[in-house]
Amino acid sequence: APAPPPARLVFLDATWSQAKRMRQRLPALRGLPILSLPIDEVPAARLRTSPGQGRVSTIEAIAAALRLVEGDAPAAELERLFAIMIERARASGRR
């Protein structure tokens, strides 16, 4: 039987290098397992470029985790709101 989902998830809202340093420096984070989420496809509309294959923003990671534990509808709503945020940021002149 598949393992039950974790009771809690901790997401570090930082750049990839900042998150790595946080994990190394903060004892409370060192003991936590690192999970790899299935990322089917990364949306083309983004504010920043990904530092590597399978690396996504915090909100995209949360949506992927939500999809696993709550299903498509809540994840799709979060992704829709993220797309609106990107659209508005670009319209305001941000990259």
Please write the tens of the pLDDT for every residue from 26-70: 999 988 888 888 777 666 566 666 666 678 889 989 999 999 888
- Domain membership flag for residue 52: yes
- Domain membership flag for residue 11: no
- Domain membership flag for residue 7: no
Compute CA distances 60 → 42, 63, 64, 82, whole Å: 8, 5, 6, 8
**pLDDT tens digit string along 17-34?**
999 999 999 999 988 888
- Domain membership flag for residue 20: yes
Upper half-sphere CA count for residue 75 (Cβ side, 13 Å): 15
39, two tokens: 């990322």
The confidence score (pLDDT) of residue 89 equals: 86
